[in-house]
Structure 1
Amino acid sequence: MKNLLLLLLLTLLSSTRLAAQASPPPAGRVVVTYLDSKLLRGNPGGETPRRRVSVYLPAGYDAAPGQRYPVLYYLHGFTWNDSLIFNKDGMKALLDQAIAEKQIRPLIVVVPNEQTRFGGSWYANSATNGPWADFTARELVAFIDGQFRTLSRPSSRGLAGHSMGGGGTLRLALQYPGIWAAAYALSPALVGPHPSYLPGPGLPQALRATGPAGLQGNHAAFSTVSVSRAFSPNPKAVPFGANLPGSLGADSLTRRDAALAQWVAATPTYQLPTHTAALRQLRALAFDWGAQDEVRHIPPTCRTFSQWLSAFSIRHAAEEYEGTHGSRIMGHDGRMFQHVLPFFDKHLDFN
């Protein structure tokens, strides 16, 4: 009889444990709001100043109106947007699970929509596109602090992003000291110069195009125009409002080094020597990339940037792992869950 009771008790405990493991974690919610940007109003590139912003609020946000939270600003990649981060990449479920498993304490996560007519803002101030860096670092932060219960101080703000957003993370960390406590860039694009994109295989079609329709079906050409609008802008240049890094002759293509020099000057590697103080005031800086990244410039430029940081005695973590541009980023086993969120749990103030 005792053995039977013991067996029943063990069965009950096991069933309870399995049920607990199978139950979903407490659910946060995603609020979609809009920022009518004063900074982006009237930009000559025709970008809408009304910007969508998706905001993750952790479970318990509504039940505890006196509690305030740190904020992680997450910057999406080229041709992506805030909606896709949550609805395709699964950011909400990832955050719910990470909080439930104590990878990170409850926080607010903000993803602005910086997709533009040509794929992305590159989080850069541009005479053509508008002041997207100022928008992100100043106007967006002020808007979020005014709309949500944030811990509105630099020690409770983090900045992260992937690809275009990773490069944007590094540039904004360099250019806007005193906004964030820590920054983490995933597979950051355009960290330094590299032959694969200076000027890149998309230049001939970009030069032949008479408008956006002429770029269709050629990602490289689309990217060339987007980067030009961000880093070598010229609102008077037809048809794209930018100085493209080349020109077409009757039977030849000529490089325009002046435009390429502007691209290089915008990279974190070349901005570093004059912006070291900005990175030294961060509590922590980290970036990583896949060894098999099909965006060929990313691994070598990340390695070089890490070497430059070391040369300037700037503490940072840089890691190359087995993976491609998009693999091992989201999901339970991805870099975001296993590395990025614990990084911010360690380096941000939560009260």
Structure 2
Amino acid sequence: MKRLIFLLMFLTMPAWGQPAGTIKQVSIHSAALAGNLVGDPVDQTFAVYLPPSYETSTKRYPVVFLLHGIGDTNDVWIHHFNVPAMLDKLIASHAIEEMIVVMPNAKNRFMGSFYANSPVTGHWEDFIAEEIVARVDRDFRTLATAKSRAVAGLSMGGFGAIRMAMHRPDVFSVVYAMSPCCLDAVEDIGYGNSASWNGVLRFKTYKDADAAINNGEFYPVAALGLLSAIDPNPAAPLHVNIPLQQVGQELLPSEPAYTEFRNQFPLQQVSRFRDNLCKLRALAIDYGFNDEFAHIPPSTAAFSKALSDAHVPHLLDTYMGDHRQQVQERLVTKVFPFLSRNLQD
């Protein structure tokens, strides 16, 4: 209750006389997304929060990349979670150091790109970790080193942050994954969710997926998006490998496709990328016990255990809450302070 009262006071306290940061919208033409098979545009935009002193100083700032979840765009940080005002207040209260915060868009035809490199949906990891990073370092006064650059994300964005940690410790040295989805092929994203996979098996073309989105069918399209990101096959129907098959009234693994599919998840790749993970300055993950995406609590706990077994330093934080209701509180009390403490400024 005390934390809730603090959050309400923090988020509603007046900003009279408080220095404010600014938001810049940046357009970028992406070579990394060119040639994608789903028809997504190569011209994208991303938002940049510049801290209050930016316009009146010559200093350089650490940078945080903030990755949104599936179904959202980067606008969710600005207009729903009120991140700019939140940062202004955290900076004014000296709870965090000033920082630049970059908010890329990663929503695609299937509601989310999963921030992955794919010959089907495009090279979204390269788009962010190479193209946007280079553009931000060119156009803004950043501390352009991995020691001063972090990546954090929610849900699909948490999944993306963990994969960036595994693949790009030379770009991002501090990582925070909030309620990361899809760390293993279990429960509502893997073997066992018949509604999701029956929907995928029903799709014949991308137009079927478009119609499912219009009908509010989340899981089948999300499953197709995940397959397109981590198990693509441009030569196959729908340009993906299908890891399950229907046998009578049952859904069963289709081998070797299912094992190959499961091996693409972060939980199965900890040992492969252990050396990269150990290069990080700091890594944190969290989840709420009441998350409505049933796979997130057990798979995040299992991922943390795999990190511990591999002797990868990290922080696991758990809390009573669901997938989204406490995001603002956790950004204020946990995420931004953690990132600020561990970034070199």
Give structure 1 regions of 4+ aligned residues with deviation exceeding 6 angstroms: 249-252
Supply the AA of the counterpart residue of 2:143. L
What is the aligned counterpart of 1:159 among 139, 151, 159?
151
Q: Does 2:310 correspond to 1:312?
A: yes
Supply the AA of the counterpart residue of 2:202. R
What is the aligned counterpart of 1:204 among 198, 201, 213?
198
What is the aligned counterpart of 1:297 among 295, 298, 301?
295
What is the aligned counterpart of 2:53 among 51, 60, 68?
60
Q: How many Å separate the matches in 2 of 1:294 and 1:93?
A: 28
Q: How many Å separate the matches in 1 of 2:210 and 2:169?
A: 40
Q: How many Å separate the matches in 1 of 2:210 and 2:219?
A: 14
Distance 1:22 1:82, change over 3 A: closer
Supply the AA of the counterpart residue of 1:55. V
What is the aligned counterpart of 2:37 among 19, 32, 44?
44
Report deviation, 1:21: 6.6
Supply the AA of the counterpart residue of 1:72. V
Report deviation, 1:322: 0.4
Tell me how large the CA RMSD over aligned residues is: 1.9
Report deviation, 1:134: 1.8
Supply the AA of the counterpart residue of 2:216. G
**Matched residue, 2:170:** 178
**Matched residue, 1:122:** 114
What is the 5 A alignment of 1:332-343? 334-343=329-338
Unaligned runs of 5+ in 1: 1-19
Distance 1:246 1:308, change over 3 A: closer
**Matched residue, 1:288:** 286
Q: How many Å separate the matches in 1 of 2:301 and 2:246?
A: 34
SS in 2 for 1:47: coil
SS in 2 for 1:106: coil
Contact 2:164 2:172 in 1 (8 A): no
> Aligned pair count?
326
Supply the AA of the counterpart residue of 2:184. G
Report deviation, 1:168: 0.8
Q: How many Å separate the matches in 2 of 1:126 and 1:155?
A: 28
Unaligned runs of 5+ in 2: 1-12
Contact 2:146 2:169 in 1 (8 A): no
Q: Does 2:189 correspond to 1:192?
A: no
Report deviation, 1:192: 2.0
Contact 1:123 1:168 in 2 (8 A): yes
Q: Which moves more between the two structures, 309-318 or 130-139?
A: 130-139
**Matched residue, 1:31:** 24
Q: Identity over aligned residues, as a percent?
A: 34
TM-score, length basis structure 1 = 0.88
Q: How many Å separate the matches in 2 of 1:43 and 1:35?
A: 16
Supply the AA of the counterpart residue of 2:281. R
Q: Who wins on radius of gyration, i.e. which is larger? A: 1
What is the aligned counterpart of 1:80 among 72, 77, 80?
72
SS in 2 for 1:115: coil
Report deviation, 1:250: 8.1
Q: Does 2:84 correspond to 1:69?
A: no
Contact 1:70 1:156 in 2 (8 A): yes
Q: Which moves more between the two structures, 185-194 or 132-141?
A: 132-141
Report deviation, 1:170: 0.7
Q: Does 2:221 correspond to 1:222?
A: yes
Q: How many Å separate the matches in 2 of 1:52 and 1:256?
A: 39
Q: How many Å separate the matches in 1 of 2:160 and 2:277?
A: 14
Supply the AA of the counterpart residue of 1:212. A
Contact 1:205 1:214 in 2 (8 A): no
